[in-house]
Amino acid sequence: MSRLSGTALVAPLVLVLAGVFVGPLLVMLPTSFHPYVPGQGIGTAWTLENYIEPFADSYYRDVILRTLWMGFIVTAIALLIGYPLAYFMARTTRTWRAVATLLVMFPLFLNLVVRSFGWIALLSNRGVINTWLMDLGVIEKPLRMMFDMTGLVIGMVHIYLPFMVFMLLSSISRVPRDVEDAAATLSASPSRVFFFVTLPLTAPGILAGCTLVFVLTISALVTPRLLGGPTYKVMSTLIYDEFLVKLDWPSGTAFAFILTAIALLVIWGANRVARRVTGGAW
């Protein structure tokens, strides 16, 4: 396929993405450089204060760092749980693979709000887990598992684990079994075959899954809103409040662009690492 034909094939998609996503962003960009005037709305002057304040104010810095920490923890746990599961799905029989695929996909069939309320029923002070532990005498008072990082991480891992599993499954399935068999015939133990053959060959899938889960986690709104409550904020809930509660559109727009810049930086960094790991084949 020539370069001209390839460009013609992707041109409609590029135009749709530019019109639906990039266009509105460019329209909103000037808003972030205007001040917010209480009682009047968006001012007419130009300022960089909306971009300086998130890094100068300790409250906003904490929100940004909390968002990044949440993304890191959720991604790490999803990888630790998802890799063995994806490995099992890739190497088991067709029947068990179909069963495991259905179990992993099933949460995706449920509405995000329903899944979040399900975790509220489990994690709240009077929820199933605390009630069960107190009835057994394991604890005397309810454990705090909501409105902090614990509940957020549990809920987000459950929601985004399928994305990690399917990214890893695709990568693990492409690893040639002959390569692993060749390492085994050279007296390599199963653990050495895994760590020195299988794991490096699946590095692109690991990076892709981690990037996808991290970006989805830091930009999620519904689950942090429900499990974090109105006071435990991350960047997405902060942006929501700036727009719809405080009506401070300039600050909300600036926070949205900062979050977008973080996501793009993570994707760019992961792409650079993947190219270095695979020698440019990814």
Short-list 159, 180, 65, CA closest to 114: 159
- 138 in a domain, yes or no? yes
pLDDT at 278: 67
What's the whole-number average pLDDT of the chain? 89
Q: Residue 216: which pLDDT band, with cuts at 50, 70 and 90? A: very high
- Whole-angstrom distance between the N-terminal and C-terminal Cα of the chain? 19
Task: Report pLDDT for 262.
Answer: 93
pLDDT above 90 covers a percentage of the chain that reads 52
The answer to whether residue 8 sits within a structural domain is no
Q: Distance between CA atoms of 144 and 181, rounded to whole angstroms? A: 49
Over range 233-261, report the average pLDDT. 92
* Res. 282: pLDDT tops 70: no
Distance CA 68, CA 63 (A): 9
Three state DSSP letters for 47-61: CCHHHHHHHHCHHHH
Mean pLDDT across 169-188: 87
Whole-angstrom Cα distance, residue 115 to residue 123? 12
Q: CA separation (Å) from 89 to 153, 203, 248, 280?
A: 25, 18, 48, 28
DSSP labels for 99-131?
HHHHHHHGGGGS-HHHHHHHHHHHHSTTSHHHH
Indicate if the pLDDT at residue 27 is higher than 70: yes
Distance CA 263, CA 280 (A): 22
d(CA 64, CA 207): 23
Quick one: pLDDT band at residue 19, thresholds 50, 70, 90? confident
Rounded-to-integer distance, Cα 229 and Cα 189, Å? 49
pLDDT digits (tens, 9 = 90+) for 116-167: 899 999 998 888 999 999 999 888 888 888 888 998 999 999 999 999 999 9
Report pLDDT digits (tens) over 264-280. Answer: 999 899 888 877 876 65
In-domain check, residue 176: yes
Domain-located, residue 9? no
pLDDT score for 74:
96
**Phi and psi dihedrals of 214, rounded to 5?**
-65, -45
Distance from C-alpha of 169 to C-alpha of 87, rounded to nearest angstrom: 7
| The predicted structure's pLDDT at residue 238 | 94
Structure tokens at 250: 């300039």
Each residue's pLDDT tens digit, 61-100: 999 999 999 999 999 999 999 999 999 999 999 999 999 9
Contact by Cβ (8 Å): 143, 133: yes
Q: 179 lies in a domain?
A: yes
Q: Which residues have C-beta within 8 Å of that of residue 252, sequence separation ≥ 6?
A: 239, 242, 243, 246
pLDDT of 215 reads: 94
Residue 256 predicted with pLDDT over 60 = yes
Percent of the chain with pLDDT over 70: 97
Measure the CA–CA gap between 233 and 224, rounded to whole angstroms. Answer: 8
Average pLDDT over residues 255-267: 92
Inside any domain, residue 38: no
Domain span including residue 180? 58-280
In a domain, 246, yes or no: yes
Is 22 part of any domain? no
In degrees, rounded to 5, the angle at the alpha carbon of residue 102 between the alpha carbons of residues 97 and 104 is: 95
Domain count within the chain = 1
- Whether the CB-CB separation of 130 and 142 falls below 8 Å is answered with yes
**Which CATH number belongs to the domain containing residue 157 in this structure?**
1.10.3720.10
Q: How far apart are CA 165 and CA 26, in angstroms?
A: 35
